[in-house]
């Protein structure tokens, strides 16, 4: 048959075969057409064969897409399709007397000569398995890596530059198997995957003589879902390993089967050959197991033998031949099981005790039931947006997260607040002066939780509170530096106490100041008070309880002045008086003078015998959301040339010309009339 100019005849023929066979048997048609091309190739019609095989692969993609859409997530045995690998192979072997061949071999880490970054270690481990079937004493690849790292020869550049004799001596072997990844490409479409891998292998004795070299490229094609014991586990680990990594393993396996028969080996003693093993897999790949998990292991090999798996440094598990040639086992992880990166080795033994071993090349096994240590160095600090918790980084390398729990009480109960991958967390819900208790728990990658560490802390409304000097019980005549009155403490103000312009006074919630009949705190510096409705600051009595004469920031928050002659006197600056109460005043609630500009908001002025608020000089106070009650004989008397803004307040009794005197705008408040 000669293809026409446009290849139409070939395409129609292949397409017709596909449609026909798809109707009869979904999976078998694709394999048949592919093999038609393979048969023609062997018959000598190279050009037609190659084009037929290419067309078959194109239609296979379409077929698999149709199958995946039709299945809608279901799968049957008929869906699994496997196509023979396409490979090109070339090797050469020196004329070597088998008696002079090395006896012990180390399979070195493969060097990647491609631009791709893939899991090529799978190729090396798979080749190692196949090479281990040769009559050499093969040094385990884990021992090879350990010795190379100890000698600082593991890096690619150092491995490339090292002399053969030096490497052989370091590894304690007679020969070396060098490997290079020379080719790699991949194509994936729905359930269909295609990977091509090329390797170059060289077997060198310790004197540098090349015994054998070979080069091969294998292209694997796979799609569908397998239902064999091996395939079921491969389906599971496909969720942890990317499809390309599974196909990379399959390509490496095909490479090993293609190349190993051509490698010379020392003569064997007469007798039976060890049982053949094809594959060993386990479903612990890509995850860390712990108590409650189940490990599934499967081995494919010669039927009718005794099979078991050996987990290095851990234990041996017997396998059961579930189907002819398929050996399986499941192991329930116990609380005390702990291993880190152990190889899973399948062993097949015949009746005479001759054994063969095969290491699962895809991944090592990790079981972790050891809980991390409790976090140390935990402390809290106030930051702009809340309370920041810090702790030391865990010494265990496998800690992946921390859980932060919180309670308002030292004994709990504690509720989960957040998770953090870092060794710090900021609680933005923490409130000033509200102490909270925190527990921090470290969690490792297996989900093990360690013991908790506890710390208490509260947000500081002002960072200076942490280092401010606490004043004595009797306030001094002059307050110097940065000083603080601590929450819950009682202080005496028996006379005048002055805060100079260079000083700062911070007052925490819950402070009580007993000012007697003559006490007065005169403020020329910065004053910050942090009272609240739930936990106010109280000043009992006083002559002029607070005299505010400062151009520095002054903020009175949540202050109750009860029974003073004059609660607050303002002579300068722009102090803020918020959510405060001035009550039972013997004379006035406030006297405001000079050019001061105070803001009184959300406050309550109640009870005065000489007038509520007296405004003098060129003062310009503002009153917002403040209640005036039982101020005798007036609520406000203003002698300032400026109009006073007193809108939006409440008055009892209602404002009138006799209770509001001077230029005061009080419209819009409760009880107000115009």
Mean pLDDT per 10-residue segment, the chain (674 residues)? 43 42 38 39 41 50 43 32 45 64 93 80 88 88 92 90 93 95 73 76 94 88 60 61 66 86 80 84 88 93 95 93 94 93 93 90 88 91 87 85 94 93 92 89 91 89 89 96 95 96 96 96 97 94 97 97 97 97 96 98 95 96 96 94 95 91 84 49
Q: Which domain, by its residues, includes 14?
A: 8-79
Q: Which of 50, 79, 108 is the last residue before a domain boundary?
A: 79
Number of Cα atoms under 13 Å in the Cβ half of residue 546: 31
Q: Do 484 and 471 meet the contact criterion of CB atoms below 8 Å apart? A: yes
Q: Is residue 148 part of a domain?
A: yes
469 and 576 in one domain?
yes
User: Encoding tokens for residue 54?
Assistant: 């290419």
How many beta carbons lie within 10 A of that of residue 488, not counting itself?
10
pLDDT at 396: 75
User: Encoding tokens for residue 174?
Assistant: 């007679």
What is the arrangement of strands in the sheet containing 386-390, beginning at the earlier edge strand? 379-383, 386-390, 424-427
Q: Is residue 371 part of a domain?
A: no
How many beta carbons lie within 10 A of that of residue 23, not counting itself?
9
120 and 60 in one domain?
no
Total domains in the chain come to 5
User: Encoding tokens for residue 388?
Assistant: 């920041």
589 and 491 in one domain?
yes
307 and 253 in one domain?
no
Instruction: Give the DSSP letter string of 171-193.
Output: HT-SEEEEEEEEEEEEEEETTEE
Q: Is residue 370 part of a domain?
A: no
User: Encoding tokens for residue 367?
Assistant: 């079981």
603 and 483 in one domain?
yes
Q: Give the pLDDT confidence of 37-95 residue by residue, as tens digits.
A: 433 333 344 344 444 444 555 555 444 444 443 333 333 333 333 334 444 556 565 55
Q: Is residue 328 part of a domain?
A: yes
pLDDT at 93: 55
Read off the CATH number of the domain in which 355 is found. 2.60.40.10
Question: Which residue is associated with the tokens 């401010």?
Answer: 468
Q: Which of 266, 295, 312 is the last residue before a domain boundary?
A: 266
pLDDT at 221: 61
425 and 343 in one domain?
no
227 and 106 in one domain?
yes
148 and 161 in one domain?
yes
- Determine phi and psi for 60, rounding to 5 degrees: -65, -40
Q: Is residue 120 part of a domain?
A: yes
Q: Is residue 637 part of a domain?
A: yes
Q: Is residue 42 part of a domain?
A: yes
Q: Do 551 and 527 meet the contact criterion of CB atoms below 8 Å apart? A: no
344 and 450 in one domain?
no
Give the whole-angstrom CA distance, residue 620 versus residue 220.
Answer: 88
Nearest to 317 by CA among 343, 336, 345, 338: 345
Q: Is residue 114 part of a domain?
A: yes
Q: Which of 363, 387, 418 is the last residue before a domain boundary?
A: 363
471 and 385 in one domain?
no
- For residue 633, is the peptide bond before it cis, meaning its omega torsion is within 30 degrees of 0? yes
Number of Cα atoms under 13 Å in the Cβ half of residue 6: 2
How many beta carbons lie within 10 A of that of residue 201, not counting itself?
24
Give the whole-angstrom CA distance, residue 162 versus residue 170.
Answer: 11
Question: Which residue is associated with the tokens 């170059």?
Answer: 200
233 and 160 in one domain?
yes
Q: Give the chain's count of helices (H) and strands (E).
A: 9, 50
248 and 100 in one domain?
yes
Length of the chain: 674
- Alpha carbon 417 to its chain's center: 17
Instruction: Give the H/E segment covering residue 477.
Output: none
User: pTM (2 decimals)?
Assistant: 0.57
Give the whole-angstrom CA distance, residue 339 versus residue 403.
Answer: 25
Give the whole-angstrom CA distance, residue 331 versus residue 310.
Answer: 12
Following CA atoms 368, 374, 377, 383 in sequence, which dihedral angle do they give, to the nearest 10 degrees?
90
Read off the CATH number of the domain in which 587 is found. 2.160.20
């Amino acid at each position: 048959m000669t293809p026409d100019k446009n290849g139409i005849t070939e395409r129609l023929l292949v397409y017709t075969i596909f449609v026909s066979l798809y109707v009869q048997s979904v999976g078998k048609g694709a394999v048949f057409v592919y093999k038609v091309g393979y048969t023609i190739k062997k018959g000598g019609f190279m050009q037609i064969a190659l084009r037929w095989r290419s067309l078959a692969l194109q239609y296979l993609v379409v077929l698999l897409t149709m199958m995946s859409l039709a299945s809608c997530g279901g799968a049957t045995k008929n869906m699994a399709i496997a196509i023979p690998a396409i490979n090109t192979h070339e090797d050469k072997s020196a004329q070597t007397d088998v008696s002079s061949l090395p006896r012990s071999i180390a399979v070195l880490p493969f060097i990647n000569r491609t631009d791709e970054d893939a899991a090529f270690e799978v190729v090396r481990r798979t080749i190692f398995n196949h090479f281990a079937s040769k009559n050499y004493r093969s040094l385990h690849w884990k021992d090879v890596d350990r010795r190379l790292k100890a000698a600082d020869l593991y890096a690619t550049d150092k491995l490339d530059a090292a002399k053969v004799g030096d490497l052989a001596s370091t590894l304690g072997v007679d020969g070396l198997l060098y490997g290079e990844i020379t080719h790699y490409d991949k194509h994936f479409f729905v359930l269909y995957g295609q990977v091509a891998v090329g390797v170059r292998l060289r077997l060198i004795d310790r004197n540098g003589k090349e015994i054998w070299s070979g080069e091969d490229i294998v292209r694997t094609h796979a799609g569908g879902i397998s239902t064999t014991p091996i395939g079921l586990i491969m389906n599971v680990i496909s969720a942890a390993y990317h499809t390309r990594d599974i196909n990379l393993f399959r390509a490496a396996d095909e490479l090993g089967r293609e190349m190993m028969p051509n490698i010379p080996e020392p003569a064997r003693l007469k007798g039976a050959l060890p049982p053949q093993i094809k594959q060993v897999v386990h479903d612990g790949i890509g995850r860390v197991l712990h108590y409650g998990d189940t490990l599934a292991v499967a081995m494919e090999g010669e039927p009718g033998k005794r099979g078991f798996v050996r987990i290095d440094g851990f234990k041996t598990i017997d396998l059961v031949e579930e189907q002819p040639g398929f050996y399986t086992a499941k192991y329930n992880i116990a609380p005390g099981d702990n291993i880190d990166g152990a190889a899973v080795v399948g062993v097949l033994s015949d009746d005479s005790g001759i054994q063969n071993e095969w290491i699962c090349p895809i991944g090592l096994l990790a079981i972790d039931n050891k809980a991390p240590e409790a976090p140390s160095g935990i402390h809290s600090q106030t930051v702009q947006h809340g309370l920041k918790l810090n702790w030391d980084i865990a010494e265990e390398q496998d800690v992946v997260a921390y859980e932060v729990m919180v309670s308002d009480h030292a004994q709990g109960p504690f509720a989960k607040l957040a998770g953090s991958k870092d060794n710090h967390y900021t609680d933005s819900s923490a409130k000033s002066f509200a102490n909270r208790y925190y527990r921090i728990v470290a969690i490792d990658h297996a989900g093990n939780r360690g013991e908790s560490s506890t710390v208490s802390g509260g947000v500081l409304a002002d960072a200076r509170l942490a280092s401010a000097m606490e004043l004595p019980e009797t306030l001094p005549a002059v307050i110097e530096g940065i000083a603080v009155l601590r929450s819950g403490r009682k202080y005496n103000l028996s006379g005048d106490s002055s805060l100079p312009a260079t000083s700062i006074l911070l007052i925490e919630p819950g402070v009580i100041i007993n000012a007697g009949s003559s006490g007065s705190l005169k403020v020329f510096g910065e004053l910050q008070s942090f009272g609240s409705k739930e936990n106010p600051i109280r000043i009992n009595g006083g002559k002029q309880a607070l005299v505010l004469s400062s151009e520095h920031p002054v903020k009175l928050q949540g202050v109750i002045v009860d029974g003073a002659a004059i609660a607050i006197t303002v002579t300068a600056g722009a102090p803020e008086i918020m959510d405060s109460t001035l009550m039972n005043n013997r004379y006035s609630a406030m006297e405001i003078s000079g050019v001061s500009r105070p803001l009184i908001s959300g406050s309550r002025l109640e009870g005065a015998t000489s007038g509520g608020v007296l405004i003098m000089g060129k003062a310009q106070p503002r009153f917002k959301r403040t209640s005036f009650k039982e101020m005798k004989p007036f609520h406000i008397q203003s002698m300032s040339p400026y109009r006073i803004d007193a809108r939006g307040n409440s008055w009892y009794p209602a404002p009138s010309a006799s209770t509001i005197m001077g230029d005061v705008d009080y419209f819009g408040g409760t009880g107000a009339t115009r």
